[in-house]
Amino acid sequence: MRKTIIMKAVDLCKSFANNGGQNHVLDMVGLEIYEGDFTVIMGSSGAGKSTLLYALSGMDRPTGGEVYYRERCISHLKEKEMAALRAGEFGFVFQQAHLVSNLSLFENVTAAGFLDKKKSGREVKDRAEKLLLQMNVEKAMNRLPSQVSGGEAQRAAIARAMINEPGLLFADEPTGALNKRNTQEVLNLLTGLNEKGQSIVMVTHDIKAAIRATRLLYLEDGKVIGEMSMPPYRSEEAKSREKQVDAWLSSMEW
């Protein structure tokens, strides 16, 4: 069965001014993201992975080219329209949880929910509770971010990213600041969301995270130079997937 394209980049460019010259971080990137995939983007440090994620998700403006979300070109939207699209359709998880420090975990999640005007207050609160339970952080949900562990904060950040039922969940090194156990827990949660149909685009340096992918893209010198598809993750196959991803990365000279 052919997969549906949920996001597409055409000739995407991003340059930064640099000592009087231009640093072309994204150089005519073309790529397609498929609905239902757990897409992982890898590449060396400085390759432009975060820049690509920000350009795709409308957090930053590309300097050239187009991004399409479900066939709609989103590259020339006014800032207000872009903000509404981001709030309603995209979820974000970063290396740090970036929770609002004077709000409880629960309030952090509901505050994001209220940005999307389609739901009533009751619906937002019910969904926030359900998500915090699903993310296994319900015991800490009335505490402030300073009163919870790094793993709990990151799980709350995933709940916040999921509150508006995003079409696409973006994650930039979501396990980069976590210990081994919390890393596995967060990866299991992301894999669980993907199994239920959530489309995910995740940047990572960690092979243990990359093996969760159903599709991998490799970014180098501002271009996507390689890709590989894999069947959905099964924990019994973790070791063989690690070998497969490792070999693929070696072929990319990672």
Ligand X SMILES: Nc1ncnc2c1ncn2[C@@H]1O[C@H](COP(=O)(O)OP(=O)(O)OP(=O)(O)O)[C@@H](O)[C@H]1O
Please, which residue, 6 or 47, has the CB nearer to ligand X?
47
Please, which residue, 52 or 211, has the CB nearer to ligand X?
52
> Is the CA virtual torsion 109, 111, 116, 120 positive or negative?
positive
Q: Give the residues lining the site for ligand X (CB under 6 A).
A: 16, 23, 25, 43, 45-51
> Is the CA virtual torsion 84, 69, 155, 153 positive or negative?
negative
Q: How far is the CB of 122 from ligand X (least distance, A)?
A: 39
Helices marked H in 24-92: 49-57, 79-89
Closest CA to 203 of 82, 72, 60, 46: 46
Return the one option of Mg ion, ligand X, none that residue 48 interacts with (CB less than 5 to 8 A, by type): ligand X
Please, which residue, 51 or 191, has the CB nearer to ligand X?
51
Quote the CA–CA distance of 254 and 247 in Å, as a whole number. Answer: 10
CB 90 within 8 A of CB 58: yes
Strands 72-73 and 223-229, by their bridges, are unpaired
DSSP state of 138: G
Q: How far is the CB of 46 from ligand X (least distance, A)?
A: 4
Return the one option of Mg ion, ligand X, none that residue 16 interacts with (CB less than 5 to 8 A, by type): ligand X
Q: How far is the CB of 208 from ligand X (least distance, A)?
A: 16
Return the one option of Mg ion, ligand X, none that residue 62 interacts with (CB less than 5 to 8 A, by type): none
Q: How far is the CB of 60 from ligand X (least distance, A)?
A: 8
Q: Which of 50, 57, 104, 198 binds Mg ion (CB under 5 A)?
A: 50
Enumerate binding residues for Mg ion (CB under 5 A): 50
